Amino acid sequence: MTDQTAKQTILVVDDEPVNLKILVELLRPDYQIRVAGNGQKALEIAAREDRPDLILLDIMMPGIDGYEVCRLIKENPQTQHIPVIFLTAKSQVEDEQKGFNSGAVDYIAKPISPPIVRARVATHLQLKKVRDFLKDQNDFLEQEVLQRTREISNIQDVTMVAMGSLAETRDNETGKHIRRTQFYVKLLAESLRHHSRFQDALMDKNIELLYKSATLHDIGKVGIPDSILMKPGKLTFEEFDIMKTHTTLGRNAIAAAEELLETPASFLIFAREIAYTHHEKWNGKGYPEGISGNRIPLSGRIMAIADVYDALISKRVYKPPVPHHEAVLMIQEEAGRHFDPDIVAAFSEMAEQFQIVSLKYVD
């Protein structure tokens, strides 16, 4: 005897009690049966939480006919997966075509043949089982991909924050400099994304990576001797030459990490560019390579303004902080010399937002 709890459910829809009785007696031994005497009742039953697995649907009924019932079932996201078989006296080719066009999976003409009905019902229920299984598998795989993507993103975040925090412990005078420059970089990138020169490079994903990568701009300072890094005063020319090597040290450390990832274009690419080039100048008088203009990676050009602005407004043992409005003027005066003029223009438009960030994350 078939286990009742394991039986699939069929909704039989027909306005003729005799037809309902025949189909119920035919299918009840193998399936759970529900009945509806009109289209409206059929829609109500189909929309319940315990939905039927298949619907046998008459066409000629008072009120809503079978074609309309089928169309409404297929329009509803909650019921559209239920297979519908038309079972009707309308046997012309155009009737069948209309039935299939409305979303039915099969079409059986009356008077019915019991073996054909049972075979068609069994076939479509089995097909539904397969479709449901594949859908469940696809849903599971999609969830797994989303979970893995979140995990990878979290690993990236933790890696960058940990490495950036390591650099910060060596240079505690800078306080929340790393946090502030992160937000400066994001503000600039989001403003520049609509500029014709930068829109192809500043997609959402790249802006997010720039934001994360900014934490590593001074990672190379880990390799600078304490006597220079923590000197309470200005550096000599010789000491400054050593300090400048932090760009190369940072680039090399990040490149070594990328080699371990064994990916040609890792999420650290912007971090490597920023660490190495954020002290380059638009006119070619920066370091470490003295490259100029568009040869400087966009990430380095954006970071340059973020880094210099924050250095200007921050107190150091060798200088007092510069007021915000003066810092803005100083950066504007360096457009075309130290900085990319288009990025300076974007900075000028959002200078107040920079000040808001600086006050929110004050040392």
Q: Residue 3: is its pLDDT beyond 80?
A: no
State yes or no: pLDDT of 171 exceeds 60.
Answer: no
- Whether residues 37 and 74 share a domain: the answer is yes
- What does the alpha-carbon distance between residue 296 and residue 274 come to, in Å, rounded to a whole number? 10
- The answer to whether position 29 is within a domain reads yes
The predicted-structure confidence for 279-307, as pLDDT tens digits, reads as follows 999 999 999 999 999 999 999 999 999 99
Model pLDDT, residue 142: 81
What order do you get walking across the sheet with 32-36 strand by strand?
32-36, 9-13, 54-57, 84-88, 106-109
Over residues 137-145, the mean pLDDT reads: 80
Q: Does residue 141 form part of some domain?
A: no
Q: Does residue 147 have a pLDDT over 80?
A: no
Between 247 and 134, residue with greater pLDDT: 247
Q: Is 152 in the same domain as 242?
A: yes
Contact (CB, 8 A) for 284 and 291? yes
Final residue belonging to a domain, choices 103, 135, 167: 135
Q: Render pLDDT for 66-125 as a digit per residue (tens, 0 to 9).
A: 999 999 999 999 999 999 999 988 878 888 899 999 999 999 988 889 999 999 999 999
Structure confidence at residue 362 (pLDDT): 87
Statement to judge: residues 105 and 163 lie in one domain: no
pLDDT of 2: 45
Whichever domain contains 215, its CATH number is 1.10.3210.10
Q: How many CB atoms lie within 10 A of CB 264?
A: 7
Can you give the pLDDT at residue 319? 81
Q: Tell whether 162 and 306 lie within a shared domain.
A: yes
- Asked if the structure places residue 168 within a domain, the reply is yes
> Burial of 29 by CB count in 10 Å (0-12 exposed, 13-18 middle, 19+ buried)?
exposed
- Per residue in 46-59, pLDDT (tens digit) is 999 899 999 999 99
Q: Are residues 286 and 343 in the same domain?
A: yes
| Banded model confidence at residue 1, pLDDT cuts 50, 70, 90 | very low
**Do 64 and 211 reside in the same domain of the chain?**
no
Within this chain, do residues 53 and 112 fall inside the same structural domain, yes or no? yes
Within a domain: residue 263?
A: yes
Statement: residue 163 has pLDDT above 80: no
> What angle do the packed helices 269-277 and 204-213 form, to 10 degrees?
50
Q: What is the pLDDT of residue 238?
A: 94
Of the listed ranges 160-174, 272-286, 333-347, the least confidently predicted one is 160-174
Containing domain of residue 282, as a range? Answer: 146-360
Tens-place pLDDT, residues 184-216:
999 999 999 999 999 999 999 999 989 988 988
Q: For residue range 228-257, what is the model confidence (pLDDT) as tens digits?
A: 888 888 889 999 999 999 999 999 988 887
Question: Is 290 within the bounds of a domain?
Answer: yes
Q: Which pLDDT value is given to residue 5? A: 47
* Whole-number Å distance between alpha carbons of 27 and 118: 7
Assess if residue 208 is contained within a domain: yes
Boundary-marking domain end, from 135, 154, 174: 135
pLDDT tens, 4-40?
447 899 999 999 999 999 999 999 999 999 999 999 9
Last residue of a domain, one of 102, 135, 168: 135
Same-domain check for residues 15 and 104:
yes
Q: What is the mean pLDDT of residues 321-346?
A: 97
The CATH number that applies at residue 126 is 3.40.50.2300
Whether the Cβ atoms of residue 14 and residue 23 lie closer than 8 Å to each other: yes
How far apart, in whole angstroms, are the C-alpha atoms of residue 258 and residue 236? 34
Using CB atoms within 10 A of its CB, is residue 288 exposed (0-12), middle (13-18) or buried (19+)? Answer: middle
Residue 289 one-letter amino acid: E
In a domain, 140, yes or no: no
Q: Does 162 lie in the same domain as 130?
A: no
The pLDDT, as a whole number, for residue 140 is 79
The answer to whether the CB of 253 falls within 8 A of the CB of 245 is: no
Asked whether residue 234 is assigned to any structural domain, the reply reads yes
Q: 274 and 164, same structural domain?
A: yes
Per-residue tokens: 126: 């089995």
Same domain, 155 and 278: yes
Claim to verify: residue 257 and residue 343 sit in the same structural domain: yes
Q: How many structural domains is the chain composed of?
A: 2
pLDDT score at 316:
78
